[in-house]
A and B are shown apart, each in its own frame.
Chain A
Amino acid sequence: MCYYNGQKVTHAEFIMLKDLEKKVASYDFLSTDLHDGFVYGNIAALMPIPGKKDFEIVQMEWGFIPDTWFGKPLDTREKVDRWRRGYKDPSGKFIPGITTLNAIGEEMLLKNKIYRSSALERRCLVLSSGFFEWRHHFPLNKRTGEPVKTSLKIPHYITVKDAPYFFMAGIYKPWTDKETGETVNTVSIVTTAALEGHLMAKVHNTKMRMPTILNEDLAWEWLFNPISEERITEIAATQFPSERMQACTIAKDFKEQLEPAKPFIYEDLPMIESVL
């Protein structure tokens, strides 16, 4: 039996609290809560506890890492960084990096996809209070009256109305660094088509894609239930109701802002409802 801050706790809890002290001491509390996928940071996710209808909240590394890529092992950080960011081969030719922040819901179960086994066996929920997406705007040329050819990219912050957080479908995979022995869970957020008329089709108007946002019932089914391939694909294609979502324009340099999601009004930018 031990005491912590005047309270009687179990030996196990005491050890956990002492471990937490160390983690808190080395944690950077001044970092913001903005998750920029391209820096491959950690995001909060709900992971099912095996054998139970329960989950734990964990941090996962955003950016799914497969065991191999075209037969070559991705077993060290150096190899993963090169694979993600691109590199020059011995002849000097640049080999572009591979992005695995998102898994295309319609394709992830195809036999040749790196996501297939995770979609079948390791599904999770990524917690979000909002996400960022860019809308391409083609203003009219003042001289010709025609839309300009190069678009302006206007960042938006998208949230679910009256919901402090919501669930995105995710799939994860543990990855071990062969050099350090450290194992992390890496995760990809599942995306689906944003159908015509959906808010996300208006915001993400070049690719017409959006994260698969799930209501509580679907989130539960995605996380726990043994479900068929057809059902997985069906849930992955969920069109979260457009009327329950909202988007606001934010500053172009939002990543450098103290409040990245703070609304920012652009003059002469058509309201989102009048785009289509």
Chain B
Amino acid sequence: MENPIIDTKPFTVNLNGDVLQVTVHLIGHNIIYRIVFPDNRPELKLFRAKGIENPKFWTSIPENLARIKETEAVGQLIFDHYNPPVLLKK
């Protein structure tokens, strides 16, 4: 089972030497990751959406085509942070 990630503790990830602050928010039924950068870059809000060709993909909310690579890279770091998954095993 892919981990839906429900631990809401903030954490950090390291993107190419930059330490990014990640906070987890439950909005409606959806989990949003707010990413704060150490420099002047605007923060990102990331979500794991369902695609047709890719069963799951990371996207920013709202969508931002200029930051797709950044979104995917940070999303992978978030996924790695929670790996291995921890949730009800059954």
Query: Which residues of A are interface residues toward B (Cβ below 8 A)?
Result: 1, 4-10, 13, 17, 19-21, 23-25, 27, 29, 33, 44, 53, 56-59, 127, 129, 164-165, 216, 219-220
Contact = CB atoms under 8 A, between A and B. Distances in A.
B55 to A, nearest CB: 11
Contacts of B71: 5
Contacts of A56: 29
| A contact patch SS | mixed
B62 A21 contact: yes
30 contacts: A5-B59, A5-B60, A9-B52, A10-B52, A13-B51, A17-B61, A20-B47, A23-B28, A23-B30, A24-B45, A27-B25, A27-B27, A27-B32, A29-B34, A29-B45, A33-B23, A57-B26, A57-B29, A59-B26, A59-B28, A127-B6, A129-B7, A129-B9, A164-B7, A165-B6, A165-B8, A216-B88, A216-B89, A219-B88, A220-B90
Given A5-B68, A20-B28, A219-B88, 12 more contacts: A5-B59, A6-B65, A9-B49, A10-B50, A10-B52, A17-B59, A24-B61, A24-B62, A33-B23, A129-B7, A129-B8, A220-B90
B1 to A, nearest CB: 10
Contacts, number: 99
Contacts of A44: 6, 8, 26
Given A24-B62, A29-B34, A4 B49 contact: yes
A58 B52 contact: no
B27 A23 contact: yes
Contacts of B7: 129, 164-165
Give 3 nearest A-B pairs by CB, closest first.
Answer: A5-B63, A164-B7, A5-B59
